[in-house]
Amino acid sequence: MKRLASPNLALTSRSSAGSSHRADDGDGGRAARRSARLRLMVPFALTLLSPLAPSLTGSLGVAVFGGHGNRAWAQGQELAPIKVDLPPQPNFNVTNAPETYPTGELSVYGLRKHTAQNLDKDVQVKAYLTEIYECPAEQRKCNDELAAKNKKAAKAKAKVSKKSKGKAAEAAPEAPAAASGGACRPCDQPHFFMSDSPTGKKERALLVADYPVKDWKTGKPKALTAKTGEQYVVTGTFAINSIGGFAASDGLIIHKKLVDAKGAVVTEGNAVLPPEAQDIKLDGKMPEKVGGARLDAKK
């Protein structure tokens, strides 16, 4: 019969074996674990030191490793900046004309740039004539016919008054109203437009109003003889409203004198102002009489 080992001896053997295993685990186990950690840390450190590190950490946020030799299999790529080509912002004040010409005249641009300084003063402006207003043919015809009727009625009334002199005045036919019932729209007052370029747009052009339409010496009708597309010098009062009823928020010229590029006078005076008020008063210059004022001065 085989004798069993003593319980105390079995416990002693197991305790010795456990102690031996712990001893081996304390030295060899710790060394193995350190070696494993080093094998994982070295590739990670090398990756952080490589040129790909900023893109990996910046673009992806986390570096992912796998495959052979713990190499990175995912990389971030920095996108190139987007370039947007936009058209330049338009500059509505761009002009080829200077503010003031070497000979002293203002351009339309220069006149309006210093509106507060020039307003309600006589100024000289050098610019291109772009358009002369002409009353439309149908409108002019309507007004001419209406004027003829008014003239005929006025003659009939004067004839009746002459015959009835010394007697009770007989009823005479009344002249029809010039604009009664909207028969026709009156023509606008004479005016023209000037710009800093020969092809300037009408909405940006300078309006010149109230130039005379009659010869100062004969009193007969006289049309404005000037060519569009050519440069002239206009002298007059810079204002917001003209005497004849025009208005412009960016200013207009109340006409007093128009001269061509050679210095010849094209027309002078004003169609509305009385003769004694038709003189030019420029800053730093002696007053100049024009139109009716000039003729009166010669008498």
Q: How is residue 216 annotated by DSSP?
A: T
CATH class for the region spanning 86-133+188-299: mainly beta
The string of pLDDT tens digits covering residues 170-216 is 444 554 444 444 578 888 888 999 999 999 999 999 999 999 988 88
The residue ranges of every structural domain in the chain are 7-72, 86-133+188-299, 143-187
The string of pLDDT tens digits covering residues 217-263 is 888 888 899 999 999 999 999 999 998 899 999 999 999 999 999 99
The phi and psi torsions of 163 (rounded to 5 degrees) equal -70, -35
Reduced 3-state DSSP string for 2-68: CCCCCHHHHHHHHHHHHHHHHHHHHHHHHHHHHHHHHHHHHHHHHHHHCCCHHHHHHHHCCCCEECH
Q: What is the pTM of this model?
A: 0.59
